[in-house]
Amino acid sequence: MAFLTDVTKLKDDLILFRRGDVQHSKWYCRMKVPGVDRYKTVALKIESQREAQDKAFEHYADLRFRLKHNVPIFGKTFEEVALKYSDELKTGIELGRITAAYWKVVDAYIRNHLIEYCGKIQIAQMGEEKWKEYPLWRKRTGKGARGEPVQDGTIRHELITFRAILRYAADKHLLPDSSVPKGKVLHSKARREAFTPQEYRHLHTYARKWVNQAQNEEKKWYRTIIYNFILIMANTGMRTIEARNLRWRDVDARIDKQGRRFCCLNVRGKNKYRELVAPDSVATYFERIKEISNATGPDDPVFSTLAGKSSTTLFSKRIRDILTGSELLYGSSKIPRSSYCLRHTYATFRLMEGVDVYFLAKQMGTSVRMIEDHYGHITPSKNADLILQGIPGWEPAKQGSATGSEVSVNADGGGTLTARSRSPKR
């Protein structure tokens, strides 16, 4: 190249040179990288040729070491890699792997916090120590969306994104596999709250009025869909991604050996399929949706827009509107609720009814450990009949012997406070 001057060949794949396009006379070295059509150039920042030669051989030895131990040679900053990761993640929207809303959240984590924390650091210098130090930095410098202290749950998701970026860097051979954090992600103490039985009954009552108060036919259509969506989610424990992927062919009304009707759903999340069951009333909620839906083919989405397209956001804005209007957007933890809280509500109500943890885990597509970790707060007194079973003086209650003091909770039709009774279908 024309700008190379005073070129000295130190080895077949190593040269020392000055640059003719700069004002100073300091030396550079350039090394050929085996196996790729690239060179590694280093500014030595030395004017003495003898010292520059020694420095060039040091860099040459470092290059050979990196090649031998599979350590990245060409450096990129964390910011460069993180933004590239975000760009590639975004392509998953078109492929249906993620939603646009999910990508926006991850991209915000990267641009608003992670880049501020370590954006200019070389990606090859990142590791588990830097990753573990992030929660303390975030607590000291960060605030939540409304100015309150940042929640552990938010930091947890940011740490997950942080590790995903480092995993991506390792896959691109920009970072050794050994540098990808293996430690546990900060446990989120702040979980989105389930609705209490009283809150759920209030939501159910408010939702019926909310539908009837719609100002035009389009709003009434959406409110009717959302009302039944809430009932379905609270009575199945589906994940939101499973609800988004649900098609009409996945909904099946069946009859068991005793002649009892129930609803069976074949749901799928991220390439995982499972079967769950729900009370017969859930089939009624699906029928209500199908009666007014503009997408009723076997492969059409159950939860669609008025135009018959899949609702990628699952009506998140309108769900927030109904929670705000019913004054249920925030629970005691002050964390905003979303439709995912209906899954927590389902789990809580089932445990309060004494459903076995193993069967509940199967139904919800999760592990017994997760159920125990996340719902261990359910009051033991709700299961007194199961816990005290077999103890002298504690005989099982006979069917139909419920008293006013006994409590049963069901999400079906808004729940009830009469023992083992079932609310009439709406």
Tokens of 340: 């995912």
> Three-state DSSP class for 195?
coil
Radius of gyration of the chain, Cα coordinates, nearest whole angstrom: 30
Q: Is the dihedral of CA 246, 315, 280, 193 positive or negative?
A: positive
pLDDT, one tens digit per residue, over 305-363 is 999 999 988 999 999 999 999 999 988 877 788 899 999 999 999 988 888 889 999 99
Mean pLDDT score, 142-148? 58
Q: Are 241 and 332 in contact (CB under 8 A)?
A: no
Q: pLDDT at position 386, please? A: 52
Nearest partner of 72 among 31, 124, 36, 33, judged by Cα: 124
Mean of pLDDT values over 222-226: 97
* Angle of helix 152-171 versus helix 128-141 axis, rounded to 10: 150
- Do 170 and 211 lie in one domain? The reply is no
User: Is 82 in the same domain as 51?
Assistant: no
Tokens found for residue 388? 């005290």
What's the pLDDT at 378? Answer: 66
Same domain, 163 and 204: no
C-alpha dihedral sign at 362, 153, 116, 44: negative
Q: Per the domain annotation, does 352 fall within a domain? A: yes
Examine residue 14 and state whether it is found in any structural domain, yes or no. Answer: yes
Q: β-strand 14-19 against 4-11: which pairing, if any?
A: antiparallel
Residue with tokens 């919800």: 364
The C-alpha atoms of residue 290 and residue 292 are separated, in whole angstroms, by 5
- Domain stops at, among 179, 213, 244: 179
Residue 407 reports pLDDT greater than 60: no
In a domain, 389, yes or no: no
* Structure tokens, 242: 């499973």
Q: Is 423 inside a domain boundary? A: no
Same domain, 43 and 89: no
Q: Are residues 351 and 202 in the same domain?
A: yes
How many domains are there within the chain? Answer: 3
- Angle at the Cα of 18 from the Cα atoms of 43 and 22, rounded to 5 degrees: 80
What are the angstrom distances between the C-alpha of 259 and each of 255, 256, 262, 277, 280? 5, 5, 10, 15, 12
User: Has residue 340 been placed in a domain?
Assistant: yes
Is residue 210 located within the same domain as residue 344?
Answer: yes
Among residues 375, 381, 340, 378, the alpha carbon closest in space to that of 361 is found at 375
pLDDT in tens, 75-109: 789 999 999 999 999 998 888 788 888 899 999 99
Q: Are 254 and 306 contained in the same domain? A: yes
Tokens 């924390």 -> residue? 117
48 and 92 share a domain? no
φ, ψ at 36 (rounded to 5°): -135, 155
**Which of helix, strand or coil describes residue 398?**
coil
- For residues 12 and 16, give the distance between their C-alpha atoms in angstroms, rounded to a whole number: 11
Find the helix or strand (DSSP H, E) in which 43 lies.
strand 38-43
Give rounded-to-5 percent helix, strand, coil for the chain. Answer: 50, 15, 40
Q: Are residues 146 and 36 in the same domain?
A: no
Domain annotation covers residue 90: yes
Q: Give the global pTM.
A: 0.56
Identify the pLDDT of residue 325: 96
Q: How confident is the model at residue 425 (pLDDT cuts 50, 70, 90)?
A: very low
The CA–CA distances, whole Å, from 344 to 234, 370, 426 equal: 8, 12, 23
C-alpha span between 68 and 64 (Å, rounded): 6
Tokens of 172: 């691109």
- Provide the residue range defining the domain that includes 130: 78-179
Q: In what order do the strands lie in the sheet with 4-11?
A: 4-11, 14-19, 28-33, 38-43
Q: Is 165 exposed, middle or buried (0-12, 13-18, 19+ CB in 10 A)?
A: buried
> Which of 47, 68, 89 lies at the terminal end of a domain, its last residue?
68
239 and 362 housed in the same domain: yes
pLDDT score of 147 = 56
State whether 58 and 86 are in the same domain. Answer: no
Q: Identify whether residues 250 and 113 lie together within a single domain.
A: no
Q: If you average pLDDT over residues 232-258, what whole number do you get? A: 93
